A and B are shown apart, each in its own frame.
Chain A
C-alpha cells in the first residue's frame, strides 16, 4: 500500500516534468537532425537522406550548390526590406488604430486579422490574380514578392504593437506632460521606449515569417528563386546538405539574439543592484 502511494506520489511529482520533456524532444528532434545533417558527407549516395560520413565541407563551402547563394541573398534582402517596411507601416497603423477614433475603426481592427486567418494559398493566389489583372503579370519578381511579404507581415506587426500599446498606462503619458514634456518629448521619452520591445518583437517575427515563406512567394515570384523555393526545387533532385548549414546558422543566430538579450538584461539588473 505504502509503496503504491509512494509510487503515485513519485508519478505525480514527475509526470508534468516528464511530459514537458517529451514535448521538448518532439520539437527539438527535427532541429537536431538539421544540425547533424549539416555535417553529413553524402557524396556516396545523393538520394538517401541519411547520415553517411562526418565532414566540415558543408560548412566550409556553404554556397557550393548552384543557385543557392543567390537564393539566400535574395531571401535575406526581401526579409530585411519587408521587415523594415512592415514594421514602420504597422507601428504607425497600430498607433492610429489604438489612439484615434474614426469611422470604420472597429471594422479596421477586425480586418487586420484577415491575412493571419486566411489560408496562405488563398492569399497568394488572390494577390497573383490582382497583380495579373493590374497588368503586372509579366513583371512578377522582387517587387511583387516584397509587396506580398509586407502584406502578410503587416497584420502581425499591427497586432503585436497594438497589444503592447493597449497595455500601456495612459497615466504615464499624462504624467510626462504634467512634468513639462511636450507632445514630442512625451512620445520619444515615454511612449516609444515603452512600446519598443513590442516593435522589436514584431520586427523579429516579420523577418522570420518573410524569410521562410514559400506558398505566397512561390505564386508571386515570377522568375525569382527565394531560399525556400530553392530548397523545394532541390528536393526533387536530392537536397544538398548545405541547406542544413543555412538552417543551422539561422537557428544559431536566433538563439544568439535571444540569449544576448537575456544576458544584457541580467547584466543590467546586476549593475543596478550593486
Chain B
C-alpha cells in the first residue's frame, strides 16, 4: 500500500520504523512566520497531540505534513522516506479537516469510498459499510452531507480518512463542533480506534483536557515553536516554561531568588522564606526565577495551626475569596507581598471550609515545586475569557 515514489534519503538509518519526523520545518508567509524551525518526532503508532492557542501554527504544521502547504525550509520524513515535497496524493497520510471538507455533491458512502476508489481498490462496498458501522452512520449512507448534523459530518470526515488506513492520520480539531457529551464519547472512540488499528494519530486541539486524556505525547506549541513536549503527566507535573505552566492547567508563579545548589536541591529565597526545588525540576540556575506550584499542591491551615504533611511554609496570608465547587474548594490567598495564590483543597471533610478573611499559612512539598526562568512572562498562556 506504499504510495511513496519519492527518493529515500541515504543518510538515515535504515530502520523499519515509520516515525514521522519534522526537522527544522519552517513556514513563512509574506510578513509572518507561522511555523519556526520545528523539530519533532512522532513515534509510529503513537497518539500525538499538538496543543496550542489559536493562531499558533497547528493547522499550518498539519498542512505541511499532508502536503497541502509547501514548507519554506526544513524536511519531513516518514521513516526513511523524505516526503517534504511529495504531492499530497502520494503520501500515506490522510487528514480530517478542521471544517470537514466533505464533498457536497457525493452522498455519504461515496464520500467515504473516495480515497479507496482513487487508489483503484475494487469492491469497496464492504469496507465502506464496515467503516460506516464503526462511526454509527449506516442508516445515513445515502444522505448528502448537507442533510446531516455537524456531529454526523464530523464522523463522516473521520470515516473518509480512516478507511484508507494511512500510516499517519492528521486530525485538525476533529471534535470542535461537538457538544460536550458527544465530544467525550468521540474522544474515547477515537482513542479506541487508534489503539485498535495502531496508526499514528496527530491530533490538533486547543483543548488541554482533550489532549491530556487522549494523547501519549503532547507537544505544546506557541507562536510557531514547540514550547515543550512529553507525556501528559510529565508536562503537567514538570513544565519548563511559564507558558506551559499556565496553558496546561493553572499554576502559582512566585518570584524567587536562587541561592544555589545543595545536594539534589536548588535552594531559593521566596519573599524572605526559604524553599527548595529538586534539581530535575529547576529550569533556571541562578539569579531570579519563578517558583511554580500547582494550586492543588498547596496546603493551607489557619495561622498558627499545624499543617498536614508540611513542606516549605510561608506565613502571613489571608483568604480573599472562597468558592465551593463540589469536590473541592478553591481559595484565593493574599500573601504579604500582595500576590494572590490559588489553592484547591479536596473536600475530604477533614476540616470545615475556611471563611473569607481568615489568616492562613500556606505550604507545599518541595518535590511538587518547579522553577522557571525569570525572563519569561508570568502571565504567558493564561487564557483570558
Contact = CB atoms under 8 A, between A and B. Distances in A.
Interface of A: 169, 171-172, 174-182, 185, 189-190, 193-194, 272
A173 to B, nearest CB: 9
Contacts of A179: 89, 94, 114-115, 118, 160-161, 164
Given A171-B97, A171-B99, A272-B143, A177 B87 contact: yes
Given A172-B103, A174-B88, A179-B115, A272 B68 contact: no
B233 to A, nearest CB: 33
Interface string B129-162: 0000000000000111000000000000000110
Contacts of B97: 171, 174-175
Contact of B103 (A175, A180, A185, A272): A175
B105 A178 contact: no
Nearest to B115: A179
Contacts of B89: 177-182
Nearest to A193: B105
B37 interface: no
Given A171-B97, A180-B89, 15 more contacts: A174-B101, A175-B95, A175-B102, A177-B68, A177-B87, A177-B89, A178-B66, A178-B94, A178-B95, A179-B89, A179-B164, A180-B118, A181-B118, A182-B87, A194-B104
B115 to A, nearest CB: 4
B3 A180 contact: yes
A176 B111 CA distance: 10
Nearest to A272: B142
A178 B68 contact: yes
Nearest to A185: B118
Contacts, number: 64
Interface string B68-105: 10000000000000000001110001110101011111
Contacts of A169: 99, 101
A273 to B, nearest CB: 8
Nearest to B99: A171
Nearest to A171: B101
A172 to B, nearest CB: 5
Given A178-B88, A179-B164, A272-B144, A194 B118 contact: no
A181 B88 CA distance: 9
Nearest to B121: A180
A189 B105 CA distance: 10
Contacts of A190: 103, 105
Contact of A180 (B99, B107, B164): B164
Given A169-B101, A194-B104, A272-B107, A176 B144 contact: no
A118 to B, nearest CB: 37
B379 interface: no
Contacts of B119: 180
Contacts of B95: 175, 178
B150 to A, nearest CB: 16
A267 to B, nearest CB: 14
Summarize B's interface: helix, strand, loop or mixed: loop
A181 B114 contact: yes
Nearest to B144: A272
B88 A177 contact: yes
Contacts of A189: 114, 118
A185 B93 CA distance: 18
A206 to B, nearest CB: 24
B136 to A, nearest CB: 19
A229 to B, nearest CB: 42
Contacts of B114: 176, 179, 181, 189
Contacts of A193: 105
A209 B377 CA distance: 67
26 contacts: A171-B97, A171-B99, A171-B101, A172-B104, A174-B101, A175-B101, A175-B102, A176-B103, A176-B114, A177-B89, A178-B66, A178-B89, A178-B93, A179-B89, A179-B94, A179-B114, A179-B115, A179-B161, A180-B3, A180-B89, A180-B118, A181-B114, A189-B118, A190-B103, A194-B104, A194-B105
B61 to A, nearest CB: 15
A17 to B, nearest CB: 30
Contacts of B105: 190, 193-194
Among B3, B95, B161, max chain A CB count under 10 A is at B95
A261 B144 CA distance: 18
Contacts of B142: 272
Contacts of B160: 179
A52 B89 CA distance: 71
A188 to B, nearest CB: 11
B159 to A, nearest CB: 12
A185 B119 CA distance: 11
Contacts of A172: 101, 103-104
Contacts of A175: 95, 97, 101-103
Nearest to A268: B144
A97 B138 CA distance: 42
A180 B119 CA distance: 6
Nearest to B163: A179
Contacts of B68: 174, 177-178
A180 B115 CA distance: 6
Interface in B332-360: none
A112 to B, nearest CB: 27
B87 to A, nearest CB: 7
A53 B67 CA distance: 74
